[in-house]
Structure 1
Amino acid sequence: MKHFSQKKIISTLRRAALLIFAFMVSQGVHAKWDEERDMTTNGKEELVYYYKTNDQGQKLVLDKYVKRLIFIRSDKFYKRSIKQIKIDGVVLDVSSDPFSRYPEQTAIVFENKDEVLKKLFLAKKIEFNVLYGRDEALSTFQIK
């Protein structure tokens, strides 16, 4: 029978604990956003979108394919614009573009798409003001 030293056993246990910890942390990062799956129009590829819904029934979709956010709010005011968002308290200038076929949806686009997408994916809180002409409404999304 092979003899294992106490140092080897402790080293092996530490590695196992580190692997388990790394797995749990990686699962926690992906668990923050809810997932929604959709097939492409030709039905050959499955797309995964990440989203959050807030207490007001609004939905924020993280579109990693086009590298943008999509704000969804069903209301009678379809002419809306978003000029800034806050990601964990840091202000970021953005532009918005409503979808002509889906008036309840507004695309939020930004420069440095890869950098901002990473910040959004790791964010704990996203907030922004939605402008309806002169009226303003605050939307907040807690990512837990």
Structure 2
Amino acid sequence: MEPENRISNKALTVWKISGLIGSAITWIISIAILTLTIFFKWTYWIVGILFIISIIQSYLSIYLMPSIKWKRWRYEVRNTDIDIQNGIFIIKRTLIPMIRVQHVETKQGPLLRKYELASVEISTAATMHVIPALDLAEADELRRYISRMASVEEEDV
């Protein structure tokens, strides 16, 4: 049974804007190569391939990948563990025992802050796991809940 909770719908907007920024960089590089091609009289088929790649990359990063990513991202926090499911082509499920949680924090970049979202980072001894783009209040509540449950588990040992 897969985890029940989804991340915020606003994550789609944030991921599309991130894709747009990445695509803009790709287009700037493509235009720079076009300029070099004209200046140095290189063959134009290189530019054609580069523009086709830029169009495909733009479509994938702005439209397709954010919606697939959002549909796949799920999480559930229980008293004994945290269940995270994510992935685009390969679905990955991770169970984090509460007893292994060392600390939990929320993070916001400029885009997340603009849309009142935050990511929850869960650290264990070996790895760090992230639940991205939750509503700010939900992220804060989740951070407090995980922190409380992790400290209760540690006291029981």
Q: TM-score, normalised by structure 2?
A: 0.28
Work out which structure has the larger RCO, using CA pairs closer than 8 Å and 6 or more positions apart in sequence.
2
Q: Say which structure is richer in helix.
A: 2
Q: Say which structure is richer in strand.
A: 1
Q: TM-score, normalised by structure 1?
A: 0.30
